[in-house]
Structure 1
Amino acid sequence: MEYPRQITVIQAAAILVSTIIGVGVLPLPLFAARAADTGAPMATLLSVIIAFIGLWLLTKLGMRFPNQSIIQYSETILGKWPARVGSLLIIAFFALLTSLAAREFGEVVITSVLKKTPLEITVIVMLILATLSSRTDVTTFAYIHHFYLPIIVFPVILIIALSLKNSELFYLLPVWGNEPSGMLKGVLTIAALFQGSFVYTMVIPAMRRPDRAMRASCWGMGIAGGLYFSIVIGAVGVFGSEETKKLLWPTLELAKTTALPGNILERLDAAFLAVWVIAVFTTLFSSYYFTIHALCKLLRLRDHKMFSMFVLPVLFAAAMFPENVLHMYEIIAIVGRWGLLLTIGYPFLLLLLAVIRKKRGDTGGGQRLEQTS
């Protein structure tokens, strides 16, 4: 199947940003504060570095095989059946991530906004929205992310900027935290929030200039990582690390304490939740789209639309498995940390073997198309 090479560097970066910034924005300061107390920003920065290493590996692979996704070039590198086992694990992992993100969305909505609405309704509505949206081609997929990016990023920047006037510097000292020895587990948990960037393996083959994919990676991870880093600084700087540990969704509480100048809006939590819903949609949309797209590639089918409704009941059942919100976050932390073996370890193995075995895809297709256009 030939990819329509329509995605620009800006659109590719937009996909990365809007995919990474999602449902994990709300509990992010909680994870960071539990990891390192006052060293929460440092833990977040280390997580961004780990996440960028994973994205760098994926980008190098994509540039080495610019006309194929990871499902396809993994078979060239590993062989047919070992690669299919790896592909199945990746598909199952992102299906599970989609389910957990939908469940987390439902928990936030019934707790903060629609308190009398059944959890099942909020979860299935978001999954159906992702299902219907995923019946598009990859070019439309990029347009949707590009359209929603400003709506997601600028309100978050505004809330962070306004909240910093209420922050205290001594809440962020010492920089390494009071007990840095326990930081590693939390760093891996936060790094797992960036795993949506794996969708980039599907985006690179559709880029007009795959040779510029690394530029989009740097911009995408830089913007998303910078926002996450700033959110943690804002939350811990305002509440302190000990108080942040007691809040289930510190970023939402931060929005509640933030007001626009002149008291135009005394609380920004309602506006923030509206923006957060869009961020959740783009993240769910990406993981859902990647799941059915990868499944289509694995089975050698030309159209992924038939899987959009097929996987919906499975994802809904998985989303309703956690018993409560605490159980859900325990599962998210475990799945996220172990998932790093797939999202970072597996690409590292592929790139290492591709270099050793001197495997490389055809790099001429995209350049010839660019010259003729």
Structure 2
Amino acid sequence: MRKQDVSSQQQTFSLWQLTSLITSTLIGVGVLTLPRTTTSVLLEAGWMSPVFGSVFAFLSIWMIATLSKRFPGMTFIEYSPIVWGTKKNPKMGKWLSLPWIIGYLSFLYSTTAIVARVFGEVVVTSVLLETPLEVIIISMFLLAFILCLHEVEVVARVNELLFPLILFPILFIALASFQKAEWNNILPLFRVSGSSLLEGTYEAIYSFSGYEIMLIYFAYAHENNSKARSGFYGIGIAMVVYTLIVVAGIVVFGYEELQRVTWPTLELVKTTQVPGLILERLESAFLAVWVTAVFTTVANAYYAVMYGLRQLFNKGIVFQRVISAIMFIPLYFIALWPQNIVDIFRVSSYLGMISIILNLGVPTLYLIVIFMRGFGQKEKERNADG
């Protein structure tokens, strides 16, 4: 692995690239189901779910950024042995950090498979009715594999390019759907109890899952202080998008009707008309944008896993290319493991619980250990060419 030339800054991630990376990862399959899952608990107050759910995401990304600032230029894979080891016995750090590293990579790996499966289910039931589910899933994995053939700087550039193509159309569709709004559907505004609010907040937390990839990508921040800001910007943008979509679903359908549809956002798009009838079937354009959004979610997470394995074994880009091709196979079978849509939602719920433990528990534990041991390094940058 080549060391960085400190004078070279063109291959590190800017604030805009980090923000694009986080937002593009967060906006994915959760867009289609969030109006139903949030209103199932909070009823007409379902819009509160992404707002309060983002609080946990803000706290978690701040802790992840703080960890990265303590070890600038290093990924979670690299600084974990330092946190758990000692100068006299560095091997102990490697062994003690191994369960945390494996757990982190396994979660990202499993999440990638389930996201791809949900993507396949939507496509084969809404657009390509005669296409086998397996073909859709393999096509998405192939795109992620192609990204893994390149160095990490390509990930930033891809997300920087696709970010506006994802964000602005989704915002436009969410705002355009208010044409048929019945604002009485969102009243009364504050009827929920505290326990219901907590339960509804949990439903939104998994939709914010994905920013944990920054345990890898924050190592390449151009400025050490831009890490927390990019995290706040990225999660803030995702929160606004999610809240608009949930509000649109409630005011157009009402919370009762939302419980009867599997993909409420897709049904919302079908009822929306573009002024001037520029697009007769808006759902086709929406699905095209949504495919791009899911690609960034799957590819960013899969790349983080492969890059993490590369660092774990201290190898180069050739190893990353080979291992990404090999790990493609079990990923495919994990994606096909749920038997039906009910199983998929059940697995997603379990992953949501794990994401809370991972995104809040692990950074908290690491910060406590770092505080007790007084760890930290001088600021430096990290070259994004590996």
**Scaled by the length of structure 1, what TM-score is found?**
0.94
SS in 2 for 1:26: helix
CA contact (8 A) 1:94 1:291 kept: yes
CA distance in 1, matches of 2:192, 2:363: 35
Cα deviations by residue, 1:322-342 (Å, 9 ceiling, x for unpaired): 000111111111112222101
CA contact (8 A) 1:59 1:214 kept: yes
Cα deviations by residue, 1:32-58 (Å, 9 ceiling, x for unpaired): 111211111111111111111111111
The residue aligned with 2:246 is 232
Q: Does residue 319 in structure 1 map to residue 335 in structure 2?
A: yes
Superposed, 1:201-350 pairs within 5 Å as 201-303=215-317, 304-350=320-366
Q: What letter corresponds to residue 67 of structure 2 in structure 1?
A: L
1:69 to 52, 69, 75: 75
The residue aligned with 1:366 is 381
CA distance in 1, matches of 2:253, 2:20: 31
Deviation at 1:71, TM superposition (A): 1.4
CA contact (8 A) 1:6 1:139 kept: yes
SS in 2 for 1:27: helix
The residue aligned with 2:50 is 44
Q: What letter corresponds to residue 264 of structure 1 in structure 2?
A: I
SS in 2 for 1:305: helix
Deviation at 1:180, TM superposition (A): 5.2
CA distance in 1, matches of 2:68, 2:209: 16
Cα deviations by residue, 1:136-156 (Å, 9 ceiling, x for unpaired): 111111000000011100111
CA distance in 2, matches of 1:283, 1:300: 26
CA contact (8 A) 1:42 1:176 kept: no
**Where do 4+ consecutive residues of structure 1 move more than 3 Å?**
1-5, 176-180
CA distance in 2, matches of 1:144, 1:127: 16
Deviation at 1:179, TM superposition (A): 5.6
The residue aligned with 2:29 is 23
Cα deviations by residue, 1:273-323 (Å, 9 ceiling, x for unpaired): 000000010000111001111111222223322221011001001000000
Q: What letter corresponds to residue 381 of structure 2 in structure 1?
A: G
The residue aligned with 1:153 is 167
The residue aligned with 1:105 is 119
The residue aligned with 2:136 is 122
CA distance in 2, matches of 1:212, 1:110: 41
Deviation at 1:82, TM superposition (A): 2.0
CA distance in 2, matches of 1:126, 1:197: 20
CA contact (8 A) 2:179 2:272 kept: no
CA distance in 2, matches of 1:225, 1:105: 21
Q: What letter corresponds to residue 354 of structure 2 in structure 1?
A: W
SS in 2 for 1:57: helix
Uncovered stretches (5+) of structure 2, i.e. residues with no partner: 85-92
CA distance in 2, matches of 1:322, 1:121: 16
The residue aligned with 2:88 is none
SS in 1 for 2:46: helix
CA contact (8 A) 1:130 1:281 kept: yes
SS in 1 for 2:381: helix
**Scaled by the length of structure 2, what TM-score is found?**
0.91
CA distance in 2, matches of 1:339, 1:322: 19
Q: What letter corresponds to residue 110 of structure 1 in structure 2?
A: V
1:91 to 101, 105, 110: 105
